[in-house]
Amino acid sequence: MRGSLARTWFLLRPTGRQFQDRPWDVLKIWEGGLSFVGGPLFAFAYLWWFCRKHNLSFLAFADICAPGFALGHAFGRVGCFLGGCCYGRECDLPWAIRFHPNGDIALLTPPSHPTQLYASVACLIIFFRLNSSQRRPHRPGEILLSYLILYGCWRFVEESLRRGATADVFCFGFTHMQVACLAAEPCCCCGCGAYAALRSRRL
C-alpha cells in the first residue's frame, strides 16, 4: 500500500498528463513505477500512530527500527539491479553494466554505472554504522536521525550518477530528489528536536 501511494504521487507529479485519460493505470503496480520514498514516509506515519496508541516513545521505537530500514533498503536495491531499473549514467569503468531500458529486452543501454549496487553497498554500510551506534548510549531519536542524514547525503551524491525521472534537473542544476534531500535534512533535524523537547516537557 505504501508503495502504491508513493507511486501515485511520483507518477502524477512529473508525468501526470499520461494518466488523465486512464487514471486507474496509476494503480497498476505490476507495471513498475514503485518508489522507495513512500516506504519510509508511510512507515513512520504508522509507527507514530502505533506508538501514540500504545503510549510508547516514538523516537526510541524508531531508533530500534532504523537499522532494519537500512538493511531492507540494501536488499531492495539488489532487486532494482535484477529488475534492471534505477541504473546510472554511461561510464567506461571495468564494472560498467548494460541494462534493458524500460524492460525492453530488444534494447541495451551503453555501459553504465550500476548505481543500484552502489546504493546497496551504501545502505549496508549505513546499517552497520547504525547497528554499532545502537549498542552505545544514545539519546532517543539519535539513531533515526543518523539514518535519515546518512541516507539523505548518499542519495544526494547518487543522483549525480543516476538516469531516469528522479535524475532530471529540477531547478538550479539540482534534480528532483536532490532538492528533496536538501529540504528534508533540516526538516528531519528540526522535527526530531521538536518532538524530543515536547516529550521531555510532558514527562
Domain-located, residue 3: no
Domain-located, residue 12: no
3-9 long-range Cβ contacts below 8 angstroms, 24+ apart: 3/29, 3/34, 3/35, 3/38, 3/39, 4/29, 4/34, 4/38, 5/38, 5/42, 6/34, 6/35, 6/36, 6/37, 6/38, 6/39, 6/41, 6/42, 7/33, 7/34, 7/35, 7/38, 9/35, 9/38
Q: Is the pLDDT of residue 102 over 80?
A: no
- The strand pairing partners of 97, in sequence order, are 112
Considering only residues 60 and 172, tell me which one the structure prediction assigns the higher pLDDT: 60
Task: Report the distance separating Cα 61 and Cα 59, nearest Å.
Answer: 5
Domain-located, residue 189: yes
Domain-located, residue 23: no
Domain-located, residue 181: yes
Into how many domains does the chain fold?
1
Domain-located, residue 13: no
93 pLDDT tier (thresholds 50, 70, 90) = very high
Domain-located, residue 116: yes
Q: Give the residue-averaged pLDDT of 62-80.
A: 89
39 pLDDT tier (thresholds 50, 70, 90) = low
pLDDT in tens, 106-133: 888 889 999 999 999 999 999 999 999 8
Domain-located, residue 35: no
Q: Is the pLDDT of residue 144 over 50?
A: yes
Least-confidence region, from 148-152, 153-157, 190-194: 190-194
Residue ranges making up the domain that contains 147: 43-202
